[in-house]
Amino acid sequence: MLQAAEKAERSRLSAADWEAGALDLIAEQGVPALAVEPLARRLRVTKGSFYWHFATREALLKAALQNWETHAEEAMDQIAAIDDPRERLSELFRRTGREARTHSIYSALLRALDHPIVQPVMERVSQRRLDFLKQAYRQVGMSGIDALHRAQLTYAAYVGFLQLVLQLGVKHIDPTELEEYVEHVMSTLIPQ
């Protein structure tokens, strides 16, 4: 993180710097907080220069989400490379507890699902993850319909977990407590 801050040291900014700063803002304060003037202040310039890089605020949002989506897909591909489906699911669950930034952005995008630019991105990412889960559950022996439902249940649990922990702080992310929770989730959702 702080990608934006470090670049801000340099005298001049590129489009990539603005995109990184946009993701920082989204992660910290959500999509509605991504506004041109506040972001410009953050990057120590005025908004006058922003419009050299992007036509509109929406263009920046689109570009930033594109970056994030690519990053999210790469992370998925890594896990998908694990052969044993049970091991793959475990790794997926465990990673959810870590990688704060990626999940911060995901959580922020969840809260902006009604936004016309955010929605198609989330639709694609969610569908990929659901397919991923469904396939894994099939490979551990569940029927098609059961695998689909279990995938939906798992994904819903993931989404709700993010919402509750990252936003509400229901539990204060005590690492060992989190680990125990993840173990419970795995033993409940992954058939033996």
Partner DNA sequence: GGTTGTCAATACGCATGCGTATTGTGCGAA
Partner DNA sequence: TTCGCACAATACGCATGCGTATTGACAACC
Question: Segment near its own copies (CB under 8 A), from 16-24, 56-64, 68-76, 150-158?
Answer: 150-158
CB of 37 vs DNA, minimal distance in Å? 5
Residues 85-124 within binding reach of its own copies (CB under 8 A):
110-114, 119, 122-123
Q: Judging by beta carbons within 10 Å of its beta carbon (0-12, 13-18, 19+), is residue 184 exposed, middle or buried?
A: exposed
Contact 137, 150 (CB under 8 A): yes
In angstroms, the CA 40 to CA 31 distance is: 16
Q: Is 57 in the site for DNA (CB under 7 A)?
A: yes
CA 114 to chain centre: 16
Q: Which of 3, 38, 90, 142 contacts DNA by CB under 7 A?
A: 38
**Size of site (CB under 7 A) for DNA:** 22
- Sequence-separated (6 or more) residues with CB below 8 Å from residue 105: 23, 26, 27, 68
Q: Does 148 sit near DNA (CB under 7 A)?
A: no
User: Applying CB under 8 A, does 132 fall inside the site for its own copies?
Assistant: no
Which residue ranges make up the site for DNA (CB under 7 A)? Answer: 11-14, 35-38, 40, 44-49, 51-53, 55-58
